[in-house]
Chains A and B, each alone.
Chain A
């Protein structure tokens, strides 16, 4: 049975904003790529509270703050850390391979 997921290239590490969030639109979606103190992580760019673009939020290297309501999320685990965020941020499994950020997403059926 073939794997239901696949690893896709997202962005070259060299193109990332150092210590910041980089917005990447690829594979029909927009992702937020975080250069955190603990490494590179990727999430859906949309805030799960009201849909604002998290790539425009304040990022301190660990947490990302929604630019609209200042809800706070852990940029590594996606955990909602402060109101009005109650649902976790949708994190995308990622890895760096050959200087490229790769993400694991479901294969289209």
Chain B
């Protein structure tokens, strides 16, 4: 590999620029099962607790707020699944696959498919037509609210699951799913769809409404929060390949950081996606101003996006 044809990944860029050394990176990349298991030991009681709040609020005016709070926790299974598709949640690789698939069932995101899609997101971050996860800065406040409603998201995810279940991988997906993996992606979608159908049929036959009130409705209510968080990662940042500017990290309070498995350190994560969630704060200290950080947190990121949408500041672009 000559210097000229070397692929410049973000971490290569950071090392070339002296932001971090290979030795420091090696320490940060160290894997362990313990941090994720410890966090899960807090996570699972939290899920049961917020679910119990729904139970307590039945027939009260707190029913919908309780489902919303539970939903916020449930949609954050995305953050754990995200860590699992990078194989950085646990040192034991099969644990990442197991937990990632469970999270995927909770939020309807097939794990294997997400892994492939997410690979291209890391290769082509913020590049129009290439980044399969790119959320374009909305053209208007109406478009911004429409995205946050999660209607476009669910429409895309449900049609995606249906298409894959009937064996159809579209041309955009063929770019990141290798030929030899397409059958696995279809099988995964079919198994996921079958799981939902079984739950649905069983619920109807048995008159079992718990999945609706403790799972599906909360996830739908909570998804706008996840959409809002996901927007803070790249939306409104320049649509260029340079990781110094195309990704936004957010300083957030401890509860949010706990929920998102430290993924608020998003720019750091993009710099070195092999660094596990528990080492991201250390990586952040190391990279410092090498990455773009929004110190006002999620709210500040949305103020920035809205300022661009209403024209109070220039829209971030490829230029």
Contacts and interface: CB of A to CB of B under 8 A. Distances in A.
Interface of A: 17, 20, 23, 28-30, 44-46, 50-53, 55-60, 65, 67-70, 72, 82-84, 86
B7 A52 contact: yes
Contacts of A45: 1
B122 A68 contact: yes
B299 to A, nearest CB: 32
B234 interface: no
B30 to A, nearest CB: 8
A46 B7 contact: yes
Interface residues of B, number: 30
A65 B112 contact: no
A106 to B, nearest CB: 16
Contacts of A59: 26
B12 A56 contact: yes
Nearest to B86: A70
Contact of B2 (A28, A65, A83): A28
B231 interface: no
Contact of B274 (A30, A46, A55, A65): A65
B9 A83 contact: no
A67 B7 contact: no
Interface of B: 1-2, 5-7, 9, 11-12, 15, 22, 25-26, 29, 31, 86-88, 93, 112, 115-116, 119, 122-123, 178, 180-181, 272-274
B11 A67 contact: yes
B123 A50 contact: yes
Nearest to A23: B22
B1 A53 contact: yes
Contact of A30 (B2, B26, B88, B93): B2
B116 A83 contact: yes
Nearest to B30: A58
B116 to A, nearest CB: 6
A50 B119 CA distance: 10
A63 B218 CA distance: 41
Contacts of B112: 83
Nearest to A47: B7
Given A83-B181, A84-B116, A30 B272 contact: no
B115 A55 contact: no
Given A17-B22, A68-B119, A68-B123, 5 more contacts: A53-B12, A57-B274, A69-B123, A70-B88, A83-B116
Nearest to A28: B2
Given A30-B1, A86-B178, A70 B7 contact: no
A58 B1 contact: no
Given A53-B9, A56-B12, A69 B122 contact: yes
Contacts of B88: 70
Contacts of A20: 26
Contact of B272 (A29, A67, A72, A84): A67
B22 A51 contact: no
Given A30-B6, A67-B272, A70-B86, A84 B119 contact: yes
Contact of A69 (B25, B93, B119): B119
A67 B273 contact: yes
